[in-house]
Amino acid sequence: MAERLSIIAPSLISNTVFASMQAVVFKGLFEVALEERPIPQIQDPTDVIVK
């Protein structure tokens, strides 16, 4: 059976507890990887976080 990943909304947890999250990163054509990345932050009024 395929592995199932849990998704936790970063807005529901404190950034002081979890400074990073797992993210799917596109490396190239037909190549993706699961990596630790910083939790995204809204910095400008035009920023969006796509889930």
| pTM score above 0.85 | no
Is 46 a domain residue? no
Confidence of residue 37 (pLDDT cuts 50, 70, 90): very high
Number of H helices, E strands in the chain: 0, 2
DSSP the chain: ---------GGGS-TTT--EEEEEEEEETTEEEEEEEEPP---STT-----
Is 31 a domain residue? yes
Is 6 a domain residue? no
Is 4 a domain residue? no
pLDDT for 50 equals: 84
12, pLDDT greater than 60: no
Is 8 a domain residue? no
Is 29 a domain residue? yes
Is 2 a domain residue? no
Which range of residues forms the domain containing residue 30? 17-41
51, pLDDT greater than 70: yes
Q: Structurally, how many domains does the chain consist of?
A: 1
Is 50 a domain residue? no
29, pLDDT greater than 90: yes
Task: Name residues whose C-beta falls within 8 Å of residue 4's C-beta, 6 or more positions apart in sequence.
Answer: none
